[in-house]
């Protein structure tokens, strides 16, 4: 934001910006203070072992405090040079919250009943606590939901004090969330926004997130004589430094991974490149392959190597092993020079350019395609565009967790409105026309805050532990930027207007009608997907005019898709019919153990033609530009 816009006076020159070196400051400061012998004189009543433990605890607490002081000073300095946030309500939930509170105020009988129920629950908890104190073992009044890992430490149940703290929190948070959920006379989407905001608030105030009310963190502090707290402050300072003055919580040990060395290692070549994509062709592992190649379009919001993390869970390696010639588009990580790229550009320079290149490289007339998440939404648009032009180069299309009907889209739908888009546009203008990758990463993390924020907050800072190496979380943090024109169009036309499903979308000179798409479709969704819910994906599957095979997998948006058969995890459901609703589909579905990949492979190979000698990507008509995984995927945001 420049001076003309803010009206502020030019800042006077100040001293050089302080660096976060609080740990070193702490060591120097502590070293300059009273000597251990001085301290011992005032602690003569303690044993030698006790004095040493107390001194270690005092030194570590001092180091933690001074590190925190340095962190706060650095953050304050950086924030003073950064424009203030556009709004204290970035998700624009305030108006929705006001509407829900007004409805509650207009229903005093319901509010009174809720307060009575809350008091009754607390009376029950107090009676239970009294029984526990007298040596009895009453059943808990409130218990964590299945899968809630915040209260896994045994002391949350075995220690009466922490047990009461836990149950009090569960009663209060459950009461507040239920109060909002049960309000009547509020538009459903408005209620969902308030429910989400209330859940975020109650999750943030969980006693597990505070040192003095977390038994595991307290125990760790005592057992390590305070070293865990000192280490936690060091981790906090490092994450603040990495985030440029804003906290960027480490979810994994980033130093343990390098793209092309221990992730994204499937051998192959980059055989085509333009402004938006690199096209990768992977080396065969079988002597013969199917004639019709497979072309995969991953989401441009993520790096493609989610499909090639390790050798044992790599979808790309597995597909190659099935005798398929596999191509993958690696989308560019756009900078300001690509800010004006439109969805028409992504259609022509992405989808169509990749299909053209695959045809030139293999000499085929048709290709099989895959679209993952937002890449699948783009592929569905391409299929409708091709149908309008009588273009039949796509023999089949598979969709992983991809939406075409956004009327029941995931959690992101709750906050996708014009007010939020205006904020995003302002951010992108300030960033030269692109949305920083961290912004999208933070958004997705907030949607699952207990798993992706608070669990790491507790482990990294309260417990002082170093994040463990985890390839999926490394990939999750390796986000890409979003070009302004494309991103705003996508959010507005798909999430807000649902234009594709309603038959109100034009693209690259054609009107898009999914009913005109006769291409065979394989549609995969995941039972616990919060980004592309199974119900939403199912509604989209019924929009196509040709044969559609729908499969439901266990788990969520990532693990439901990337589930190698060798892992023997989760399950999947199949049903040859496609009745009006997902519930009806499930009623007639058959459950199968393990991965859905073999089911899909059988469907795909039946549409992949005869066997031919394996194709060497280095010997095709297109001259290789570099080795896989290419350079686009290595560009950091």
Report residue 326: phi and psi, to 5°. Answer: -110, 125
Is 373 catalytic? The answer is yes
Supply the pLDDT for residue 573. Answer: 98
Q: Which helix (H) or strand (E) holds 59?
A: helix 48-80
Residue 92 pLDDT > 60, yes or no? yes
Residue 293 pLDDT > 90: yes
- Contact call for residues 593 and 577 (beta carbons, < 8 A): no
Under DSSP, the state recorded for 52 is: H
* pLDDT, mean of residues 352-370: 98
Q: Which residues contact 365 (CB under 8 A, 6 or more apart)?
A: 359, 393
**Helix pair angle (160-181, 108-133), 10° resolution:** 170
Q: pLDDT class for 81, splitting at 50, 70, 90?
A: very low
**Burial class of 625 by CB neighbour count within 10 A (0 to 12, 13 to 18, 19+):** middle
Task: Tell me what pLDDT residue 364 has.
Answer: 97
pLDDT in tens, 598-633: 999 999 999 999 999 999 999 999 999 999 999 999
Mean pLDDT in residue range 578-593: 97
Query: How far apart are the C-alpha atoms of 300 and 178, rounded to whole Å?
Result: 38
The pLDDT value recorded for residue 98 is: 85
**Residues contacting 43, CB < 8 A, separation 6+:** 50, 51, 54
Q: Can you spell out the DSSP letters for 461-473?
A: IIS-PPPPP-HHH
In the chain, DSSP finds a helix count (H) and a strand count (E) of 24, 17
Q: Is the pLDDT of residue 14 over 50?
A: no
* pLDDT tier, 191 (very low <50, low <70, confident <90, very high otherwise): confident
Strand pairing of 510-511 and 367-372?
unpaired
Superfamily of domain 268-415+481-634: Alpha/Beta hydrolase fold, catalytic domain (3.40.50.1820)
Query: Above 70 in pLDDT, residue 154?
Result: yes
Q: Is the pLDDT of residue 19 over 80?
A: no
Say which of 373, 463, 541, 633 is annotated catalytic: 373
DSSP-based three-state secondary structure for 564: coil
pLDDT surpassing 50 at residue 378: yes
Which pLDDT does position 13 carry in this prediction?
41
Element (H, E) at 118: helix 108-133
Alpha carbon distances (Å) from 517 to 67, 100, 374, 386, 548: 61, 43, 19, 8, 11
How far the first Cα of the chain sits from its last, in Å, is 21
Q: Considering the entire predicted model, what is its pTM?
A: 0.84
pLDDT score recorded for residue 4: 39
- Phi and psi (nearest 5°) for 311? -60, -35
Average pLDDT (330-337) is 97
Digit-coded pLDDT (tens) for 434-462: 998 888 788 888 888 888 899 999 999 99
pLDDT at 68 over 60: no
Distance CA 279, CA 157 (A): 55
Label residue 62 by pLDDT band (50, 70, 90).
Answer: low
Q: Minimum mean pLDDT among 8-12, 39-43, 257-261: which range?
A: 8-12
- pLDDT over threshold 70, residue 481: yes
Segment 395-421 shows an average pLDDT of 91
User: Is the pLDDT score of 74 beyond 60?
Assistant: no
Mean pLDDT over each residue of the chain, to the nearest integer: 87
Supply the pLDDT for residue 309. Answer: 96
Percentage of the chain modeled with pLDDT above 70: 86
Asked if residue 20 has pLDDT above 90, the reply is no
Which of 7-16, 205-214, 538-547 bottoms out in mean pLDDT, i.e. has the lowest?
Answer: 7-16
Q: How would you classify the pairing of strands 394-400 and 521-526?
A: parallel
pLDDT for the residue 262:
96
What is the sign, positive or negative, of the torsion defined by CA atoms of 561, 562, 565, 569?
negative
Query: Residue 149: which of 451, 392, 408 has the closest Cα?
Result: 451
Query: What pLDDT is stored for residue 322 in this prediction?
Result: 97
Q: CA distances (Å), 362 to each of 155, 277, 349, 368, in order?
A: 63, 19, 19, 13
Residue 52: band (very low, low, confident or very high) from pLDDT cuts 50, 70, 90: low
On the question of pLDDT at 45 being above 90, the answer is no
Residues of the chain with CATH 3.40.50.1820: 268-415+481-634
Q: Is the pLDDT assigned to residue 297 strictly greater than 50?
A: yes
Band of the pLDDT at 53, cuts 50, 70, 90? low
- Portion of the chain with pLDDT greater than 90, in percent: 67
Euclidean distance between CA atoms 131 and 270, whole angstroms? 70
Segment 456-478 mean pLDDT = 93
């Amino acid at each position: 934001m420049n001076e003309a816009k803010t009206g502020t006076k030019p800042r006077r020159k100040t001293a050089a910006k302080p660096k976060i070196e609080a740990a070193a400051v702490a060591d120097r400061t502590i070293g300059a203070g009273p000597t251990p012998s001085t301290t011992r004189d005032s602690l003569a009543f303690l044993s030698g072992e006790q004095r040493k433990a107390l001194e270690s605890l005092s030194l570590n607490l001092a180091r933690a405090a001074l590190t925190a002081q340095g962190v706060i000073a650095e953050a304050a300095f950086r924030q003073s040079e950064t424009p203030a946030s556009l709004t204290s309500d970035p998700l624009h939930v305030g108006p929705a919250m006001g509407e829900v509170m007004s409805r509650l105020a207009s229903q005093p009988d319901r509010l009174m009943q809720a307060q009575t129920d809350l008091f009754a629950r607390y009376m029950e908890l107090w009676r239970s606590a009294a029984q526990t104190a007298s040596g009895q073992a009453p059943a808990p009044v409130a218990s964590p939901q299945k899968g809630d890992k915040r209260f896994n430490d045994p002391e949350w149940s075995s220690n009466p004090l922490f047990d009461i703290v836990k149950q009090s929190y569960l009663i209060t948070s459950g009461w507040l969330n239920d109060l909002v959920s049960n309000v009547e006379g509020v538009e459903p989407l408005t209620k969902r926004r308030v429910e989400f905001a209330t859940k975020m608030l109650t999750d943030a105030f969980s006693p597990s997130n505070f040192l003095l009310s977390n038994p595991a963190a307290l125990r760790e502090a005592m057992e390590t004589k305070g070293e865990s707290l000192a280490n936690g402050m060091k981790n906090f300072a490092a994450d603040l430094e990495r985030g440029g003055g804003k906290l960027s919580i480490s979810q994994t040990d980033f130093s343990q991974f390098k793209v092309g060395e221990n992730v994204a290692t499937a051998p192959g070549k980059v055989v085509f490149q333009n402004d938006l994509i690199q096209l990768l062709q992977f080396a065969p592992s079988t002597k013969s392959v199917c004639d019709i190649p497979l072309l995969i379009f991953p989401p441009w919001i993520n790096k493609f190597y989610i499909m090639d993390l390790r050798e044992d869970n790599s979808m790309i390696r597995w597909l190659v092993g099935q005798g398929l010639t596999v191509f993958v588009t690696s989308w560019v990580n756009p900078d300001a020079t690509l800010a004006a790229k439109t969805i028409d550009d992504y259609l022509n320079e992405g989808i169509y350019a990749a299909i053209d290149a695959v045809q030139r490289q293999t000499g085929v007339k048709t290709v099989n395609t895959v679209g993952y998440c937002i890449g699948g939404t783009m592929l569905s648009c391409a299929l409708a565009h091709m149908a309008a032009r009588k273009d039949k180069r796509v023999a089949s299309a598979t969709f992983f967790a991809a939406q075409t009907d956004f009327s029941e889209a995931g959690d992101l739908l709750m906050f996708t409105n014009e007010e939020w888009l205006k904020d995003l546009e302002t951010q992108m203008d300030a960033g030269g026309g692109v949305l920083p990758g961290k912004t999208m990463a933070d958004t997705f993390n907030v949607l699952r805050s207990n798993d992706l924020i608070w669990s790491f907050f507790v482990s990294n800072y309260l417990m002082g532990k170093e994040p463990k190496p985890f390839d999926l979380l490394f990939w999750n943090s390796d986000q890409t930027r979003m070009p302004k024109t494309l991103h705003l169009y996508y959010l507005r036309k798909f999430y807000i207007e649902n234009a594709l499903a309603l038959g109100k979308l034009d693209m690259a000179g054609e009107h898009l009608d999914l009913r005109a798409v006769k291409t065979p479709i394989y549609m995969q969704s995941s039972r616990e997907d919060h980004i592309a819910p199974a119900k939403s994906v199912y509604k989209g599957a019924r929009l196509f005019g040709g044969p559609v095979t729908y499969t439901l997998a266990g788990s969520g948006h990532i693990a439901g898709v990337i589930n190698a058969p060798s892992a023997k995890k989760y399950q999947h459901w199949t049903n040859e019919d496609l009745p009006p609703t997902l519930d009806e589909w499930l009623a007639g579905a058959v459950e199968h153990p393990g991965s859905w990949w073999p089911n899909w492979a059988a469907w795909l190979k039946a549409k992949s033609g005869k066997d031919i000698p394996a194709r060497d990507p280095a010997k095709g008509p297109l001259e290789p530009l570099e080795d896989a995984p290419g350079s686009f995927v290595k560009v950091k945001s």
